[in-house]
Amino acid sequence: MNFTELAKKRCSVRSYTGEKLKKEELEQILEAGRLAPTAKNLQPQRILVIESDENLEKMKEITNRAEKAGAILLVCADKKNLFVNPFDNRDTAETDTSIVATHIILKAAELGIGSCWVCMFDREKARKAFSVPDDFSVECIISLGYPADDFQPTENHTKYKDMNELVYFEKF
């Protein structure tokens, strides 16, 4: 599968079998995240892996995308380890962790494992539930799991805006 095929194959999976992720597969997925580029190579990503029944249950109170997931990743950034752009004081926590998350969901897709990137959750609630250290920012959740037999990608998966709306040559 070349990159374009993989990018097309990856889709958000929101219905899983409930089977736990195999250790070797999870390791490969986490390794793909480790290989991601980050600003100044500071590697601020700090990822909490949630696999136990107890913590998966807890995660269900944070997001409805945890239902029957094989593992959940709570992706955080270490605020002490961030590049800050001196021109506008913006740090790259969200950018760095988003690239990490992208590597993760694409690697999962390559292995035939479903994933869903989740931003719609209460970060403070997640922080408290999983005792996230004060100096870590909570960035996103990624659910992972084996797609349920009846799983189908949503319509959104193949709805792409026209290239002309997205890309401008030489001037806006």
Out of 24, 53, 120, 162, name the contact with ligand FMN by CB under 6 A: 120
Q: Of all helices (H) and strands (E), which one includes residue 27? A: helix 23-34
Out of 26, 32, 33, 65, name the contact with ligand FMN by CB under 6 A: 65
Out of 56, 74, 118, 138, name the contact with ligand FMN by CB under 6 A: 118
Type of residue at 3 = F
Q: Per CB under 6 A, does 156 bind ligand FMN?
A: yes
Q: Considering the complex, what minimum distance in angstroms separates the CB of residue 81 from ligand FMN? A: 22
Q: How far apart are the first and last CA of the chain?
A: 35
Q: Per CB under 6 A, does 164 bind ligand FMN?
A: no
What separation in angstroms does the CA of 36 have from each of 12, 13, 24, 33? 20, 22, 19, 5
**Residue-level length of the chain:** 172
Spell out a b/e string for 135-154, using b for 16 or more CB atoms within 10 Å of the CB, else e: ebbbbbbbbbbbbeeeeeee
Q: Per CB under 6 A, does 11 bind ligand FMN?
A: yes
Out of 18, 119, 125, 152, name the contact with ligand FMN by CB under 6 A: 119
Stretches 51-59, 76-84, 128-136, 154-162: which one binds ligand FMN (CB under 6 A)? 154-162
Q: Map residues 84-103 to x or -, x wherever contact with ligand FMN holds by CB under 6 A.
A: --------------------
Backbone angles phi, psi at 67, to 5 degrees: -55, 120
The binding site for ligand FMN (CB under 6 A) comprises 11-12, 14, 65, 116-120, 153-154, 156-157
